[in-house]
Chain A
Amino acid sequence: MSSQEIPEENLPAEQGDAHGAVKVADEKNPFADPGLPPHEHRIQDIDERAAKRSERTVALLFTVSMLATIAFIAAYVAIPVDKAIYVWPIGHISALNFALGMTLGLALFCIGAGAVHWARTLMSDVEVADERHPIETSPEVRAQVHADFRAGAAESVIGRRKLIRNTMLGALAMVPLAGVVLLRDLGPLPGTSLRHTTWAKGKKLVNMNTMEPLRPSDVAVGSLTFAMPDGLDEHQHDFQKNIAKDALMIVRIQPDDIKDKRELEWSHEGIVAFSKICTHVGCPISLYEQQTHHVLCPCHQSTFDLADGGRVIFGPAGHALPQLRITVGEDGYLEAVSDFAEPVGPAFWERG
């Protein structure tokens, strides 16, 4: 283990081997182990009436437990599952849950309390000492085992027949590959799917609350609107996957307040659309401070400045929120000019 073992004399002395036997107080060493103290009787050991009292207490606890179980069954049968009651100071809670929990808890607790009281007051509390034996086996046994192993290994000729040994190790090392290969179909390869969303040229922005396409006049200064692409529907089987990338935040900022040139270019009359998915680990951002145009992710508090290209101004996010370039279509509705220019959501190795 180490190049030089620590010498034995450096270790503290072993403690005395009293083996629990009561030793006569050592005149020479006042710190010596005096041995197990004499047993002190409990009141139940000497007073039969106290012992009887204990017995009755234990029996009472067990009886209460039985009654509580009966009450549990009665509650299960009698109380409707949808009934709510007011319990001070908890408030309105399910009556059945409260009744079942309290009766079950009481039934269990009383069994435990009875058993523990029984053990503490009526079972013998005389402390006794058991000897320990070293965990290590004796040197003879150790030598025997080593010799047996060597004999077994020699008889197997594994050391002599190297070809067998090496091919066996090779086979055992390779066979788990079958299991690894089988994991391949756990999912498709990522490809470029993390780079794309449903957004494309001409896709209308749909208000998530009203499910109506948005006109510029629907977006007031200071408000925060959540939007998704036209054509996305909750009932589609890949809705969850799509909304995890498509969700948008729409705000209107006075064009003079927009500090980032590209942001202004990609906006429409100060209406800007940013990805709602945080670039940290993908929580949806939902808190908007209208005075400062800051948005805050409630999960890990990354804060972005929507008036400055979605720049990170605080928190653990590593890059700015992607902006969706929008315009107004011929029919007067807000629509996307193209897909996001960069991947939305958390960063990943291939993001670049």
Chain B
Amino acid sequence: MSTTTTTDARDSRAKAPAGERVADWADGRLGIYSLAKANMRKIFPDHWSFMLGEVALYSFIIIILTGVYLTLFFHPSMNEVEYHGPYVPLQGQLMSEAFNSTMYISFEVRGGLLIRQIHHWAALIFLAAMFVHMMRVFFTGAFRKPREVNWVFGFLLFVLGMFTGFTGYSLPDDLLSGTGVRFMEGAVLSVPIVGTYLSFFLFGGEFPGGDFVARFYSVHILLLPGIMLGLLVAHLILVLYHKHTQFAGPGKTNNNVVGMPLLPVYMAKAGGFFFLVFGVIAIISAIATINPIWSIGPYRPDQVSTGAQPDWYMGFSEGLIRVMPGWEINFWGHTLVLGVFIPLIIFPLVLVAIAVYPFIESWVTGDKREHHILDRPRNAPTRTAFGVAWITWYMVLLIGGGNDLWATHFHLSINAITWFVRIAFFVAPVIAFIITKRICLGLQRRDHDKVLHGRETGIIKRLPHGEFIEVHEPLSQEQLHTLTAHEQYKPAEIGPAVDENGVARKITRREKLRAKLSKGYYGEDSQIAKPTVEEYKEITSGHGHH
């Protein structure tokens, strides 16, 4: 302790006047002190799950830094050139300038391969971190008022991140990514009425044409990241403005935020964490090759390799397209390509299903208060079950997207896997929902017993008359409070059928639906009533009577 204080004192003696003068100058022009007053010592609560969003933020920064470096060498052109670089197997082959310059980055620019691999690894981690962060927010109910808008911002970042990733890995114009672009073209062609027009406008004519790399390039490095940067800043401003949520616990209420200040603790922890994430991604990129375009080769529309897979975040859309039956309806000289168009429609719907959930829940509860205390997932069984059902759905599609790899790695029939996915697409989420809800209720019961009967100590005591009992240790008040702090809603009733004047009122279908949903959420079968003070007193006053 004393060391730090003396160092601080020395530092401030040496630097403070100059630093202060600069800060004062800036304050006179920008009024930064009111901002600093609100934020410099802002309190952030501590929990491991709060760092998932940070991983996403830092990998985004890493992607921008490495991406700018890559633009210095990459040529977004589809002009065909002959390869004359140092990689012998491809020498003399025709390839686009895009592929050629990616080869140049990988083999001739010192450190170019490292930056390329950091860029690609960081992109995979960025999407994964956003996904897990989104699940953290979902399962703890952190999306509730006042944070719904920020949930939507985060969701948009995830979706835009997917497309930035797709346009990015398509740029090298290699055989694998070109196959992905071809898949996209096929999907666009399936759109009724305007499909061929969309495809011709996108590719500047027939696939593959000579334009899509340049077009994807401006979308990948300018349009999408620009929008994402704006959303990201808004996302962070809202995090600061709303102040972070926290889990229930002693001293933590809905009206405060308990933790440590931004300056110095989170400056050091979060700032340091950026370097940890960057360091780990750099080491991964040193030892694990990603997207070795030299062994994949340049794109040709008549060639393909087996085991072609998109990057993981696109895998669920791949699953949709792989397991859908090939329905085609021909009528009056036209074709409705349902086998491709339906997956194209379900693709955004899978994502929207999770995005709209907060609004459905808030409609069912009718709760308009602010919520800053996080739920433990078990205490919101229906929400948790919905979330797990959604993840199950997503994972089933991911399995479908890799059905060939599952077949070859686990020696299964590809037909059987495809049929499994077709059925599980409808059934697995339902099963997951039911099981999760039961697990949540079981955990609620356990909390209930723990509060009333105390902690199982594992100590077996033999009573004078020979009976063995396990000694239960009563919980501290901190623990009792933490386990009983959650809110429990009562199911909403349909209001009286007559209004205050005795006039019959029409009960809308909306109201009936809401009452039904509310019962499903908060009825007897959907939550375990938390122990009351009376119950607790009754049990604890009669000590010894187990």
Q: Which of B110-118, B131-139, B349-357, B384-392 contacts A (4 or more CB under 8 A)?
A: B110-118
B510–A2 CB distance below 8 A: yes
Minimum Cβ distance to chain B for residue A190 (Å): 4
What separation, in Å, do the CA atoms of A124 and B183 have in the docked complex? 55
Whether A329 sits at the interface, judged by CB under 8 Å, is: no
Whether A142 sits at the interface, judged by CB under 8 Å, is: no
B117–A298 CB distance below 8 A: no
Whether A316 sits at the interface, judged by CB under 8 Å, is: yes
Smallest CB gap from B326: residue in A: A318
Minimum Cβ distance to chain A for residue B488 (Å): 6
B275–A115 CB distance below 8 A: yes
Give the residue of B43, B200, B336 whose beta carbon is less than 8 angstroms from that of A130. B43
Chain B residues lying within 8 Å of A118, measured Cβ to Cβ, are: 268, 272
What separation, in Å, do the CA atoms of A93 and B189 have in the docked complex? 42
When each residue 176-197 of chain B gets 1 if its CB lies under 8 Å from chain A and 0 otherwise, what string results?
0001001101110111111111
**Known contacts A119-B264, A187-B200, A286-B304; is-contact A349 B195 (Cβ 8 Å):** yes
Whether B328 sits at the interface, judged by CB under 8 Å, is: yes
Q: Which residues from 103 to 144 on chain B have a C-beta closer than 8 Å to any C-beta of chain A?
A: 107-111, 113-114, 117-118
Give the residue of B251, B288, B303 whose beta carbon is less than 8 angstroms from that of A20. B251
Chain A residues lying within 8 Å of B265, measured Cβ to Cβ, are: 119, 123-125
What separation, in Å, do the CA atoms of A87 and B114 have in the docked complex? 16
A82–B107 CB distance below 8 A: yes
Q: Which of A99-107, A144-152, A161-169, A259-267 contacts B (4 or more CB under 8 A)?
A: A99-107
Whether B414 sits at the interface, judged by CB under 8 Å, is: yes
Q: Which residues from 267 to 283 on chain B have a C-beta closer than 8 Å to any C-beta of chain A?
A: 268-269, 271-283
What separation, in Å, do the CA atoms of A277 and B209 have in the docked complex? 17
B301–A284 CB distance below 8 A: yes
What separation, in Å, do the CA atoms of A1 and B363 have in the docked complex? 9
B256–A131 CB distance below 8 A: yes
Chain A residues lying within 8 Å of B111, measured Cβ to Cβ, are: 76, 96-97, 100
What separation, in Å, do the CA atoms of A26 and B339 have in the docked complex? 65
Which one of A82, A94, A299 has the highest number of Cβ atoms from chain B below 10 Å of its Cβ?
A299
Give the residue of B252, B300, B322, B492 whose beta carbon is less than 8 angstroms from that of A6. B492
**Known contacts A240-B300, A280-B339, A346-B190; is-contact A190 B197 (Cβ 8 Å):** yes
Give the residue of B179, B210, B243, B335 whose beta carbon is less than 8 angstroms from that of A299. B179
Whether A186 sits at the interface, judged by CB under 8 Å, is: yes
Whether A217 sits at the interface, judged by CB under 8 Å, is: no
When each residue 313-327 of chain B gets 1 if its CB lies under 8 Å from chain A and 0 otherwise, what string results?
000000001111111
Chain A residues lying within 8 Å of B3, measured Cβ to Cβ, are: 48, 51-52, 55, 122
For this complex, into which size category does the number of interface residues on chain A fall?
35 or more
Minimum Cβ distance to chain B for residue A75 (Å): 9
**Known contacts A109-B280, A129-B257, A302-B326; is-contact A282 B108 (Cβ 8 Å):** no
Minimum Cβ distance to chain A for residue B365 (Å): 7
B253–A18 CB distance below 8 A: yes
A349–B193 CB distance below 8 A: yes
Chain A residues lying within 8 Å of B477, measured Cβ to Cβ, are: 25, 30-32, 34
When each residue 264-289 of chain A gets 1 if its CB lies under 8 Å from chain B and 0 otherwise, what string results?
00000000000011001111101100
**Known contacts A129-B256, A316-B321; is-contact A11 B369 (Cβ 8 Å):** yes
Q: Which of B221-229, B458-466, B478-486 contacts A (4 or more CB under 8 A)?
A: B478-486
What separation, in Å, do the CA atoms of A128 and B263 have in the docked complex? 13
Minimum Cβ distance to chain A for residue B209 (Å): 6
A299–B183 CB distance below 8 A: yes
Minimum Cβ distance to chain A for residue B166 (Å): 15
Q: Which residues from 1 to 44 on chain A have a C-beta closer than 8 Å to any C-beta of chain B?
A: 1-6, 10-20, 22, 25, 28-37, 44
Whether A60 sits at the interface, judged by CB under 8 Å, is: no
Give the residue of B108, B191, B251, B305 whose beta carbon is less than 8 angstroms from that of A36. B251
When each residue 114-137 of chain A gets 1 if its CB lies under 8 Å from chain B and 0 otherwise, what string results?
111011101111111111101100
What separation, in Å, do the CA atoms of A19 and B480 have in the docked complex? 19
A115–B243 CB distance below 8 A: no
Whether A294 sits at the interface, judged by CB under 8 Å, is: no
Chain B residues lying within 8 Å of A224, measured Cβ to Cβ, are: none
Chain B residues lying within 8 Å of A349, measured Cβ to Cβ, are: 191-196, 334-337
Q: Which residues from 39 to 98 on chain A have a C-beta closer than 8 Å to any C-beta of chain B?
A: 44-45, 48, 51-52, 55, 76, 81-82, 87, 90, 93-94, 96-98
Chain B residues lying within 8 Å of A119, measured Cβ to Cβ, are: 264-266, 268-269, 272
Whether B204 sits at the interface, judged by CB under 8 Å, is: yes
B272–A190 CB distance below 8 A: no
Give the residue of B110, B182, B404, B490 whose beta carbon is less than 8 angstroms from that of A76. B110
Give the residue of A13, A19, A45 whose beta carbon is less than 8 angstroms from that of B253. A19
Q: Which of A241-249, A250-258, A333-341 contacts B (4 or more CB under 8 A)?
A: A241-249
Whether B34 sits at the interface, judged by CB under 8 Å, is: no
Smallest CB gap from A99: residue in B: B286
Chain A residues lying within 8 Å of B373, measured Cβ to Cβ, are: 15
A281–B182 CB distance below 8 A: yes
**Known contacts A32-B481, A349-B191; is-contact A281 B114 (Cβ 8 Å):** no
**Known contacts A132-B372, A347-B337; is-contact A244 B146 (Cβ 8 Å):** no
Chain B residues lying within 8 Å of A99, measured Cβ to Cβ, are: 286
What separation, in Å, do the CA atoms of A127 and B3 have in the docked complex? 21
Chain A residues lying within 8 Å of B495, measured Cβ to Cβ, are: 4
A37–B250 CB distance below 8 A: yes
A116–B268 CB distance below 8 A: yes
A109–B478 CB distance below 8 A: no
Q: Which residues from 314 to 329 on chain A have a C-beta closer than 8 Å to any C-beta of chain B?
A: 314-319
Pull 17 A–B residue pairs with CB atoms less than 8 Å apart, ordered by A: A6-B365, A10-B489, A11-B365, A15-B485, A102-B286, A105-B280, A116-B268, A130-B43, A132-B255, A183-B201, A187-B211, A235-B80, A277-B302, A280-B340, A283-B304, A286-B303, A347-B335
**4 closest Cβ pairs, A-B complex:** A101-B286, A281-B186, A115-B272, A109-B279
A193-B206, A301-B322, A315-B418 are known; give 18 further A-B pairs, CB within 8 A: A10-B366, A11-B489, A29-B533, A33-B485, A34-B251, A82-B107, A96-B110, A96-B113, A111-B272, A128-B259, A128-B261, A135-B146, A234-B94, A244-B301, A299-B179, A299-B308, A349-B196, A351-B330
